[in-house]
Structure 1
């Protein structure tokens, strides 16, 4: 089980409120995306969930346990892959499990094969493409012992075709593990394609404006991107975000 409860979170910096009474739940095995204008506090919320600093008020609960201000409760993948250049691919993906004293090299090698990175175990980050580095970062998250994963715009720096390939790969790998995921993106299309549910945040300060439950069955194929129903959802969410600008 891996359920995250975000309860009445407020956070201010230099007397400016960034997050105002944010509450929602990510259920076990659910893929939820956060959408909102730039500067709406989405990354700040991730930092709070990860315990990098504490909210002014409100709490976070993971599997019923309070994790407010506690580090190491979730696995976090930032926008940049953040790989150590002096560690090989294999050593990079084992980092999280090493920190918790549970390294398993055989499992790591199996995951690299599933990620299409077989044969790159001894390569270094600078020898990989951007998409390959993102795969390494995500496999590292999957191999970390935490059951909840936060992904902060992991594909934003990739070109459109590579991004779509990475989205399909992410869904395939996630479908085998079904860890709970909270995903930040600025792309409406990406959010619809990946998610079970989309949460829309306003800005100045961020409040929860609306939730969308995405009806498309899994597994998902890229064919749905051009269907009338997909475009209808994209238009509705776009109109919601347009009002916030």
Structure 2
């Protein structure tokens, strides 16, 4: 069993609120979000549809600025996008005219860095070395998401932000991608924030689960879990344990009461 050491705070959110205007009215999307995320944590964020999960991720990524409050990485305010916060979206968003290898190398190229060894390493890590010269249209959905993950990791970001990256995949491919991501997390010790609607997925991956309320999104529950530390590619029987099912029911009850 691999334990990931948890150290200092990497991300700090204090009194985050976000309001946006729609049809001439201000709509409060997020309210009073206070959250510290430590180095090496795998945090999954759950909540009802429309509760602001993806909005919170966009604040962490630097895509949008909160109306009130503070979002910091390593003590510095987040006010723009940065390669230190890599984002994997629901869709892979690859450049169709580039090969797999060129897509993975894109971030390094934009930073005027050359590191063919690292590109090859992550292509191998996600199992795509044999497809390095293929174009995205020649890949399956799961393979495209593997490229997207490799493209982020090759930049060695401080934090990996993932917005329901496996939601469009079939069940078998989804489980394979979960195993891949867990292995990468164990090896790299990256801090990961992962948005999902799937309670089982959160329990199988996370070291901490954040449950949000319906809009305006607030944190209503934080649950430390350790099921992921007991899972291997060959054995995920922990999901059938009494403890797993009890925590699953607890989370579902909280979410259903917010719907």
Offset at 1:2? 6.8
Deviation track 1:10-32 (CA, whole Å, cap 9, x = no partner) reads: 00111010000111011101100
- Does 1:43 pair with 2:54? yes
**In the alignment, structure 1 residue 231 sits paired with structure 2 residue 225:** no
- How far 1:215 sits from its partner (Å)? 2.8
| 1:24 paired to 2:35 | yes
Residue in structure 2 matched with residue 9 of structure 1 by the alignment:
16
Residue equivalent to 1:132: 143
Q: Given the superposition, is the C-alpha separation of residues 194 and 88 from structure 1 closer, same or farther in structure 2, using an over 3 Å criterion?
A: same
CA positional deviation for 1:4: 0.7
Deviation at 1:175, TM superposition (A): 1.1
State the Cα deviation string for residues 86-144 of structure 1 (Å, max 9, x = none). Answer: 11101111112222222311111111112111211101111111111111101111112
TM-score by length of 2: 0.90
Query: More displaced, 84-93 or 98-107?
Result: 98-107
- CA displacement, residues 183-204 of structure 1 (integer Å, 9 cap, x when unaligned): 0000000000000000001122
Distance 1:219 1:136, change over 3 A: farther
For 2:195 and 2:136, the matched residues in 1 are separated by 24
What TM-score results when the alignment is normalised by the length of structure 1?
0.95
Cα RMSD (Å): 1.4
Moved over 3 A (4+): none
1:2–1:148 CA contact under 8 A, matched in 2: no
1:100, 1:145 within 8 Å by CA — same for their partners in 2? Answer: no
* Secondary structure, counterpart of 2:131 in structure 1: coil
Identify the residue that residue 189 of structure 1 maps to in structure 2. Answer: 200
1:51-70 pair list within 5 angstroms = 51-67=62-78, 69-70=79-80
Q: Distance in 2 between matches of 1:128 and 1:58?
A: 42
For 2:5, the equivalent position in structure 1 comes to none
In 2, the alpha carbon distance for the partners of 1:137 and 1:38 equals: 25
Q: Distance in 2 between matches of 1:5 and 1:102?
A: 30
What residue in structure 2 maps to residue 240 of structure 1?
Answer: 254
Cross-structure match for 1:147: 158
Distance in 1 (alpha carbons) for counterparts of 2:239 and 2:227:
11
Q: Does the aligned pair in 2 maintain the 1:2–1:180 contact within 8 Å?
A: no
Query: How many residues of Structure 1 are paired with residues of Structure 2 in the alignment?
Result: 244
Structure 1 residues 219, 93: CA separation in 2 closer, same or farther (over 3 Å shift)?
A: farther
- CA deviation after TM superposition for structure 1 residue 237, in Å: 0.9
Q: In the TM superposition, what is the alpha-carbon distance from 1:8 to its structure 2 partner?
A: 1.0
In structure 2, C-alpha distance between the alignment counterparts of 1:155 and 1:124, rounded to whole Å = 20
Matches within 5 A, 1:75-154: 75-154=86-165
Runs of 5+ in structure 2 lacking a partner? 1-7
